[in-house]
Amino acid sequence: MATIPLSDRSFSRIARLMHSSVGLSFTPQKKSLVHARLWGRVQRLGLGTFEDYVRLIESHDDGGEFQMAVDLLTTNETYFFRERAHFDLLQAELQRTRPQRLAVWSAASSFGDEAYSVAMMLADLEMMGTVGPDWSVLATDISERVLQSAVQGIYPADRLREVSAQQLKRHCLKGEEESAGLVQVRETLRERVRFGQLNLCQPIETIGPFDVIFLRNVLLYFDAKTKSAVVDRVLMQLRPGGLFFLGTAEGRVPCRTPLKALAPGAFRKE
């Protein structure tokens, strides 16, 4: 079947809907990306045009298709211990302060790779006596679908390529036979991570305070005004002196909350 074209009008309607509903920003330069991410879905639903798809996701009775569109437009590569320097910095901070209580928030957790990476590190530091047993990890995302997957904690083995052999043995189970090539995070670790749905572009109830917040590789989907608002909204949940992580390539986002830069993508709330 030939590729279904995306008209400028349909693209503009999709872009407006995504921005008004969840804060996502799609400039005209991203039209080809939107087309590539969604056209297969249009085909699978048996729709003849993108106009039909837009009418579907704009309707109140969309059968969950709007959320599916959000998922398709925001899914990016993720893996355990991505941007390792941030985990090294956090570990050094914890070895210095040796906290008895610690609360961490993975604010754009996607499929849970980041949250479980943090949990692995904290479990190991607890075992060594560096941190106390009273630690917690909260992982949130706008997508209910990816959160449901994250709760299961099952991943292709390649996603854990940065996990050491010792950590794999302690914290994971390798699949066999029909599950060969898959790895599942052990239940003892999965129980330490709470998952919940949250839209960062809407007011956030008091869910903190947190000592560490990761907000990595999600701001690229927002325009400049939305980025600043999201960062300030998230930082309201961070304790003074707490650590805040953005994606290394995202740079420093202008915000009202005073931050001290520690390393690329790493900050301390002042």
* CA distance linking residue 152 with residue 26, whole number of Å: 31
The two counts, helices (H) then strands (E), for the chain are 10, 10
CB of 208 closer than 8 Å to CB of 104: no
Place of tokens 């059968």: 63
Which of 92-120 are b and which e, b meaning 16 or more Cβ less than 10 Å from the residue's Cβ? ebbeeeebeebbbbbbbbbbbbbbbbbbb
Is 141 catalytic? The answer is: yes
CB of 80 closer than 8 Å to CB of 162: yes
What are φ and ψ of residue 178, in 5° steps? -70, -15
And the tokens for 265? 């993508």
Which of 71, 141, 190, 211 is catalytic? The answer is: 141
* CA distance linking residue 129 with residue 121, whole number of Å: 12
Task: Tell me the one-letter amino acid at 99.
Answer: P
CB of 80 closer than 8 Å to CB of 157: no
> With left for phi above 0 and alpha for psi between -120 and 50, is residue 251 left, alpha or beta?
left
Residue 87 is classified by DSSP as: H
Q: Residue 190: in which H helix or E strand, if any?
A: helix 187-190
Looking only at the bridges linking them, the beta strands covering 193-197 and 210-215 are unpaired
Place of tokens 């990816």: 146
Residues annotated catalytic, as ranges = 37, 141
